[in-house]
C-alpha cells in the first residue's frame, strides 16, 4: 500500500496543464542558476559574495532567519484546528504542514549556501560536530531538523490515512501534533538566541529579540499562507472556507501590530540617549559617516509594514478576498526586509572595534537566493498539489492505473 501511495502521488503531481508546466519550467531555470552559484562557491570560495571579515552574515543568513519564521507561522493553522477545533482550519491543516516542510528545507539550503564548504556540514551534527551542542547554531539546526521530521511524519501520515481510507490513530497522531505546536515556538526562539546572545553586537543584544521574532513569524507566515490559499481557491477545485482565511487575517493583523510596536519601542529606547551602542540602529535609519546603503531598506520596510497594518484594520480590505492579497503581500515583503537587511546586516555596523564597512550583495548572491526561493516554490507546488489531490479524492488506490487504462 505504501509503494502504491508513493507511485500514485508522483504520477499525479507530474500531470498538469500548460500553466502548470510553464510555472515549473520558470522555477527550474532559477534552480539551474542556484546550482551554478553552488558550483562557483565550492570552487572559488565565498569570495564571490559581497560578505567580508567585518560583515560575514549577509543575504543568505537574512533569508535563513526570515524563513524560520515562515516555518513557525504554520502553527497558526495547526493550533486553531486541533486545540480550538476550528472546522474551516481543520480541513486545510495539512496544507500548512506542507508549507512548514518547504520552509525548513529552504532554511537548510541557506545554511548550506552560507557555509560555502559542504564538507564542513558534519560540524553541525549533534555530538560529533564541533559546532553541535556547544554552539547556538548547532542547537538551531537541531530544533529545525526536529521540526522538519515532525511535520513530515504528521503531514504525510494524515495524507496516507486519507489515501488508504483508514482513520488516523489519535493515540499516536495527537501527541505528535501537540509536540509540533510547542516545537514551532522553539525554532524561532532558538534562532533569536542565535544572534541575541552576542554581547559584542549591541543592536541584537537584548531579551526582546525572541518576542520580536515570534510576532513577525506569526504575521509573515500566515500572510504567505493566505496568498497560497487564495491561489488554490482560484486554480483548483478545492474550496477553502472564508472563515479560515479571515481568522488568519486577524492573526496577521494583531501580530503585525505587535511587531511594529516592538520595533518602534526599540527605536525610542536606543535613540533617546544616543550612545555608541545605538550606532547600528542609527546607521540603519539615517546612515553613518556618509554611508547610507541600508537607509532605503529600513524606511521601505516601515512603510510596507505600517501600510499593511492600516489596510488590515479596514474591514473592506480584510474581508474582501480580491483586496486581501494587497496587505498580505505588503506585510510579507516588509517583514522580509525588516528581518533580513534591516536586522542582520546593521548588527555588524560598526564592528566591535569601530570599523564602519558597508555590505552590497553581489549578483551571484541574488541569483543563489532567487534559486533557493524558486526551489522552495517548486517543492511547495508539488507538495500542495499532491495533498489537494488526496483531499479531493483524486489520488486513491487504483485511481492512477484506472486513468492510465
- In this predicted structure, what is the pLDDT of residue 401? 52
Check if the beta carbon of residue 374 is closer than 8 Å to that of residue 30.
Answer: yes
- In this predicted structure, what is the pLDDT of residue 85? 83
- In this predicted structure, what is the pLDDT of residue 333? 94
Helix, strand, coil percent values for the chain (each to nearest 5): 75, 0, 25
- In this predicted structure, what is the pLDDT of residue 403? 47
For 139-167, b/e burial (b = at least 16 CB within 10 A) is bbbbbbbbbbebbbebbbbbbbebbeeee
Residue pLDDT tens, the chain, 405 long: 688 888 888 899 998 889 999 999 999 999 999 999 999 998 888 899 989 888 888 899 899 989 998 998 888 888 888 888 888 888 888 998 999 999 999 999 998 888 877 777 777 776 777 666 667 777 888 888 899 999 999 999 999 999 988 888 888 889 999 999 999 888 888 888 888 888 888 888 888 888 888 999 999 999 999 999 999 998 888 888 888 999 999 999 999 999 999 988 888 888 888 888 888 888 888 988 888 888 999 999 999 999 999 999 999 898 899 999 999 999 999 999 988 778 888 888 888 888 888 888 999 999 999 999 999 999 999 999 999 999 988 888 866 554 444
Rounded Cα distance between 372 and 72, Å, is: 19
Rounded Cα distance between 390 and 383, Å, is: 11
Q: Is 361 helix (H, G, I), strand (E, B) or coil?
A: coil
CATH no. of 2-393: 1.20.1630.10
Rounded Cα distance between 195 and 202, Å, is: 10
- In this predicted structure, what is the pLDDT of residue 398? 67
Rounded Cα distance between 68 and 246, Å, is: 24
- In this predicted structure, what is the pLDDT of residue 290? 84
- In this predicted structure, what is the pLDDT of residue 131? 63
Q: Which three cell numbers stand for residue 139?
A: 542547537
Sheet strands (E) in 129-235: none
Amino acid at each position: 500500500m505504501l509503494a502504491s501511495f508513493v507511485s500514485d502521488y508522483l504520477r499525479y503531481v507530474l500531470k498538469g496543464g500548460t500553466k502548470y508546466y510553464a510555472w515549473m519550467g520558470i522555477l527550474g531555470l532559477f534552480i539551474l542558476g542556484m546550482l551554478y552559484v553552488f558550483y562557483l562557491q565550492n570552487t572559488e570560495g565565498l569570495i564571490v559574495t559581497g560578505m567580508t571579515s567585518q560583515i560575514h552574515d549577509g543575504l543568505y543568513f537574512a533569508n535563513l532567519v526570515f524563513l524560520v519564521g515562515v516555518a513557525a507561522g504554520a502553527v497558526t493553522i495547526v493550533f486553531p484546528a486541533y486545540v480550538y477545533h476550528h472546522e474551516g482550519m481543520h480541513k486545510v491543516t495539512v496544507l500548512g504542514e506542507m508549507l512548514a516542510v518547504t520552509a525548513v528545507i529552504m532554511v537548510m539550503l541557506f545554511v548550506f549556501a552560507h557555509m560555502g564548504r559542504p564538507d564542513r556540514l558534519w560540524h553541525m551534527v549533534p555530538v560529533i560536530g564541533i559546532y553541535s551542542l556547544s554552539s547556538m547554531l548547532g542547537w538551531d539546526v537541531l530544533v529545525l531538523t526536529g521540526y522538519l521530521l515532525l511535520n513530515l511524519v504528521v503531514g504525510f501520515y494524515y495524507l496516507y490515512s486519507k489515501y488508504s481510507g483508514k482513520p488516523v490513530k489519535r493515540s499516536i497522531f495527537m501527541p505528535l501534533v501537540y509536540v509540533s505546536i510547542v516545537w514551532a515556538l522553539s525554532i524561532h526562539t532558538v534562532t533569536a538566541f542565535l544572534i541575541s546572545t552576542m554581547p559584542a553586537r549591541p543592536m541584537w543584544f537584548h531579551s526582546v529579540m525572541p518576542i520580536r521574532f515570534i510576532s513577525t513569524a506569526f504575521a509573515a507566515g500566515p500572510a504567505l499562507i493566505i496568498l497560497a490559499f487564495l491561489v488554490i481557491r482560484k486554480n483548483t477545485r478545492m474550496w477553502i472556507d472564508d472563515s479560515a482565511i479571515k481568522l488568519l487575517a486577524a492573526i496577521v493583523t494583531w501580530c503585525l501590530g505587535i511587531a511594529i510596536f516592538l520595533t518602534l519601542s526599540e527605536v525610542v529606547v536606543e535613540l533617546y540617549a544616543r550612545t555608541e551602542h545605538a550606532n547600528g540602529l542609527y546607521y540603519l535609519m539615517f546612515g553613518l559617516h556618509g554611508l547610507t546603503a541600508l537607509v532605503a531598506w529600513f524606511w521601505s520596510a516601515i512603510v510596507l509594514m505600517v501600510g499593511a497594518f492600516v489596510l488590515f484594520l479596514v474591514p473592506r480590505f480584510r474581508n474582501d478576498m480580491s483586496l486581501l492579497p494587497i496587505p498580505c503581500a505588503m506585510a510579507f515583503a516588509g517583514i522580509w526586509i525588516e528581518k533580513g537587511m534591516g536586522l542582520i546586516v546593521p548588527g555588524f555596523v560598526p564592528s566591535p572595534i569601530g570599523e564602519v564597512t558597508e555590505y552590497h550583495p553581489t549578483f551571484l548572491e541574488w541569483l543563489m537566493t532567487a534559486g533557493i526561493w524558486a526551489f522552495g516554490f517548486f517543492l511547495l507546488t508539488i507538495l500542495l498539489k499532491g495533498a489537494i489531490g488526496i483531499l479531493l479524492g483524486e489520488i486513491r488506490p487504483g485511481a492512477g492505473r484506472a486513468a492510465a487504462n
